[in-house]
Chain A
Amino acid sequence: MRHYLGWLTFFTVLWWIVLIPFEYHVLSVVLDPVHAVAYAVITMIAGPFPFYSDSSGMYLLLLVCPALAALTAGFIFLPILRRFREIGLQLTRILMLYFLVLELWKYGWIKLIKLQFYLPEPNTVYSPLGSLSKDIAYWSVIGSSHAYVVFMGIAELLAGTLLLFRRTRFAGLLLALGIFVNVLMVNISFDISVKLFAALTLLMVITLLSGYRDQWRFLFGSDVRPASEKVSAGLKRNRFLHAFVIAVFVVETVYPSVVMKGINDDAVQRPIHHGAYEVRNHPEISRLFVHRQGYVIFEDRNGKRLDLKVLSQNAYAFGLLDEHDQQRSTLLWKSPGVVIWQRTSFSDILRLKPLPYNELPLLQNTFHWSSDSFH
């Protein structure tokens, strides 16, 4: 029974790692087909569920993963697998360790290259603070500081690297504990939809830390058991497998930089016409924004906004789509400062003045050791 519980834990963690609806790059080759099949089967059995971060489908996985684990862990009772029965819990710890390394590296790197907490877009920068929900407000303010985001990235990369070596693993887990407690509290406090993932990852860190009793005793000044009393049994590491796994993790981590061909997303060239514009001649439309993710956003004089997806574009024209009612239109960039918005057989000529959104205070790299200049 003890061995079965060990393997049950292992397969629960494994199924959770495999099934969580998160995007990967290299690993998506394997995980995307598994997700497609698994989500289709779950939908067939339990009905339609959305599978995104913190969605009901993801919460459903809390039940699905133990159920799947209960089925798969039974295989360990096959005679041919007898010799593996005792290592379930050890493998669970190894699995959690490698998963933490991957996640810390992945998120640390995309922070380091300013991809996760990106420079706020023109439409966000020109939004009144009170009109933003907590999550996008937090994301934008953090993204406005290059130094802080890089600091967070370095901390996560360091924690992940420390986990790889036996001597530094406890220190790495302590650093990871601080990181994930902070991540969870930020997600809860600012209503960012990664709460479940952060909570369970924190649980993994705590579970791993619980195995370091001597280190905790030492930290709190208690007596530590002599080395001769410690049992040092464990699994022998396969060098090739370890090297392969770490190589895959490194490729998965740096993939965005290879595609982006850089290590600073703030410096990446924005799409053509990207920016913020004042509309000078229209009675209702006050501003127009071109978003780097392929959207044109119109703002009316009451501050309400309409975002249209750019389906196709060149230097002269954008083909636009309203994703809510599927209505199409085109935006023609006639000359500097003049665009024509054509929809339902009508055209509006909009005279634009570019707004210097890069010069707004939020996007300046200011730093003061002393506050004297403010007094």
Chain B
Amino acid sequence: MKLLLPALLVSGLAAAQTTLIAHKSHSGTASTFAFADPGNFGLSERLVKVKKISDTSVVLTNLYGSDESNDTIYGHPIFSDPNISVDSMQQLYYYENVNFENFQQPKAAQRDTVRTGSQPLERQKNSQRDHQKMPPKKKKQSNLFWLWIIGGGTFGGILLISRRRKPRMIPA
């Protein structure tokens, strides 16, 4: 039963169309896209500095030619994630030429406890609270409740109807 409940809720909406149709619905490839290297166009802004002002806010400093502009971003999906180190940002996300201010490397103990799922999970939750996430538990339970009602009602209804009729032989 314990396995059945989350399995039912996590299965979600199965693809109503073929996988190929779903892929073609949004598909497009970099190999055919003309916009390859932004450096060729000379009209782009370049990110030069990211300054952390709180757990959830950063100030991005962009350079446009010789002009600087500053933007305060709340809940940046990369820069406000405490689990992404500066090294990762520079290597994985290609921000190697960017200066990062007020960023701390994730602590070893913090990393370990994140893996085991204890205390800093709360901090992780807070930093992700604005991000789209799985539906809350209450909604899942409400869905399951209605599914049981529909299934139980159908089961009972068919039993009731078949009880009032003579038992039939299923034709060969």
Contacts and interface: CB of A to CB of B under 8 A. Distances in A.
Contacts of B30: 306, 322, 324-325
A90 interface: yes
A346 B158 contact: no
B123 to A, nearest CB: 17
Given A232-B169, A237-B167, A328-B92, A243 B35 contact: no
Contact of A283 (B43, B98, B146, B167): B43
Interface string B79-97: 0000000000000111111
A90 B172 contact: yes
A330 B77 contact: yes
Interface stretch (A176-184, A221-229, A336-344, A363-371): A336-344
A242 B21 contact: no
Interface string A114-142: 01111001011000000001011001000
Contacts of B156: 243
A293 B35 contact: no
- Give the contact-size bracket for chain B: 35 or more
A347 B62 contact: yes
Given A53-B19, A307-B28, A314-B132, A348 B38 contact: yes
Nearest to B45: A347
Interface string B38-50: 1101011111000
A285 B35 contact: yes
Interface in B118-148: 128, 130-132, 143, 146-147
Interface of B: 3-4, 7-8, 11-22, 24-35, 38-39, 41, 43-47, 62, 71, 73-78, 92-98, 128, 130-132, 143, 146-147, 150-152, 154-156, 158-159, 162-163, 167-172
Kindly list the 4 A-B residue pairs having the minimum CB-CB distance in the complex, ordered from nearest. A305-B28, A319-B77, A23-B14, A306-B33
